[in-house]
A and B are shown apart, each in its own frame.
Chain A
């Protein structure tokens, strides 16, 4: 699904956008196929929102091309707009309206009835808050309402800018189900997130961005494989002397800190067997590389979720 073909829902070709000296987006190219779940990851200020807003047609790129369902999104094309649904990073609501009224207003803009608005509110788990004013909702509830506003007209492509920020773990998982269900109906989803575990679970493909450029782009599994990182086996400190650990079959490197002893290995199977033989499996953790390791290696940055 990585090839750039005529059948792609989104084709972005070398887009650039500068604010003064700052290159917010500095030559980004990618394509997203129909029905694909595409994630954009990157530290704060990487250019994720700017990239999304250029694709949505909210911002004009300084240079480069965007094809959204075969059309140019900029300048504004009202024939294209009903086919995309957007949740902006900062939620956009009308003053003094209840959750239901907000959603019904947005629904009406797309010619969608109140019944569908009610269903969407239920979908994001806000049915019991339908009559609460937008400014009285909690941060996560506002976020869910904002997502509902992006989904209410059942668009072909959904753009979500950090939809799971501010959500509690329960709501996050509920939203995952909602997104998976949308995807199962053949819709395309492009989203940004700071939760790498989430991206790894949900996305068909991810792009890792920093300073306006894409550093890597592939399926999460391929990115992790490409890292070629050793498996780390973590034991409680004192359960095994460091020298003994280093002598075990398959142990490449041993490090120790206050709480734990970590053995890195590229052949974890014989190592685990040896540990089991010695009866030192208590509190044992096995960590294989994750997307987070890929991210840290690429951006060289501490992660700020």
Chain B
């Protein structure tokens, strides 16, 4: 029985490796997205606003301390104003004695507003301090997001989950349809091999392929150009990954059980995975979507796989966060697997 398991797995791996299109869509295609988006958004959110400064004093020192802006000093007002006029700088702060003057370019409203608010805020803060009175209204700001959640941090788990999902669904469904159509299933029925052996060898191959994908995608994202940083609990993403692979494998089995031809299976697999990838935060954070869409996406296994992997790979959550994604994915696997087993047939008719 071990020989049967090994030889079936080997037959499937060879079939997979010898199909150039499958290799492309399993490895190159998702990697393309990772590289393109990773490079495109590499600096997004990382760049600081610059502001020009002439003179010296507590306001300019305080601005530098906020860390929110990069202060660029000029010897003369004219020199700085020229930069503002050219659009190189959104504003110029001139501090002479107790007087603070902000000159800004109105061409970029958003930046101008930010700069005005910032300079005004810092000046008022200093005024309060100078008055010696405790401030009447207390103001505090606290950042909720991990400061390091740069685009690559959510792109990697998103594209990883999506790449694994399409490969698992396509791999499982096309093997099933092809084997049924080419009578391999009937022939296997005449050999002393149990359906469990056939099924587990296919699952093992799917997991092996997914593991290879994960290593490649994470490996590439870790390169300095992209700069992914893994959290301390990244290894807790492994159970979520395995549950996700199983969930999408069973979806593939269901698609394969329902479709008679490879073309139909390809279409059906696309219909299942493509919308799911858009609704599950593969290419952009789902937090940007309207609330009802966010709620609806909670019904999708890809969303939970993506969330779960993000939680551990980059957010560093503890083991208690395993419960929801793994629970949902296992439930999916059981329900879909049950339906697939019900509709499965060894041959057409």
Contact = CB atoms under 8 A, between A and B. Distances in A.
Interface in B94-150: none
Contact of A97 (B11, B179, B192): B11
B192 A81 contact: yes
Contacts of A96: 14-15, 18-19
B191 A109 contact: yes
Nearest to A114: B7
Contacts of A82: 192
A56 B190 contact: yes
B337 to A, nearest CB: 22
Interface in B179-218: 179, 182-184, 186-194
B332 to A, nearest CB: 28
B194 A94 contact: no
Contacts of B179: 94
Contacts, number: 71
B10 to A, nearest CB: 7
Contacts of A79: 192
B188 A109 contact: yes
A110 interface: yes
A28 B186 CA distance: 23
A79 B178 CA distance: 27
Nearest to A91: B183
Nearest to A104: B7
Contacts of A56: 190
Contact of B15 (A76, A88, A94, A149): A94
B15 A97 contact: yes
A79 B183 CA distance: 22
Q: Interface of chain A, helix or strand or loop or mixed?
A: loop
Interface residues of A, number: 29
Nearest to A77: B192
A292 interface: no
A57 B346 CA distance: 13
Given A88-B183, A88-B186, A108-B6, A94 B191 contact: no
B184 A92 contact: yes
Contact of B7 (A58, A78, A109): A109
B11 A81 contact: no
A78 B15 contact: no
B252 to A, nearest CB: 16
A94 B192 contact: no
Contacts of B183: 88, 90-92
B272 interface: no
Contacts of A76: 189
Interface in A87-120: 88, 90-97, 101, 104-111
A62 to B, nearest CB: 15
B15 A81 contact: no
Given A58-B186, A92-B184, A97-B14, A78 B192 contact: yes
Interface in B72-88: none
Interface in A11-37: none
Nearest to B195: A76
Nearest to A78: B192
A86 interface: yes
B192 A109 contact: yes
A73 to B, nearest CB: 10
A86 B188 CA distance: 11
Interface string A116-160: 000000000000000000000000000000000100000000000
A196 interface: no
A84 interface: yes
B187 A92 contact: yes
Given A105-B8, A108-B3, A93 B19 contact: no
A252 B188 CA distance: 58
Contact of B10 (A57, A86, A92, A105): A105
A191 to B, nearest CB: 16
A133 B4 CA distance: 21
Interface string A47-88: 000000000111000000000000000001011011010101
B184 A109 contact: no
Interface in A177-214: none
A272 to B, nearest CB: 53
B192 A110 contact: yes
A209 B19 CA distance: 44
28 contacts: A58-B186, A58-B189, A58-B190, A84-B190, A88-B186, A92-B182, A92-B187, A93-B184, A94-B11, A94-B184, A95-B15, A95-B178, A96-B15, A96-B19, A97-B11, A97-B14, A97-B15, A101-B14, A105-B7, A105-B10, A106-B191, A108-B6, A108-B7, A109-B188, A109-B191, A109-B193, A110-B192, A111-B3
> 9 shortest A-B CB distances, which residue pairs?
A108-B7, A92-B183, A92-B187, A109-B191, A81-B192, A96-B18, A108-B3, A78-B192, A95-B15
Given A78-B193, A97-B14, A109-B188, 14 more contacts: A57-B190, A81-B190, A82-B192, A88-B187, A92-B182, A94-B11, A94-B184, A95-B19, A97-B15, A108-B6, A109-B3, A109-B4, A109-B191, A149-B187
Interface of B: 3-4, 6-8, 10-11, 14-15, 18-19, 178-179, 182-184, 186-194
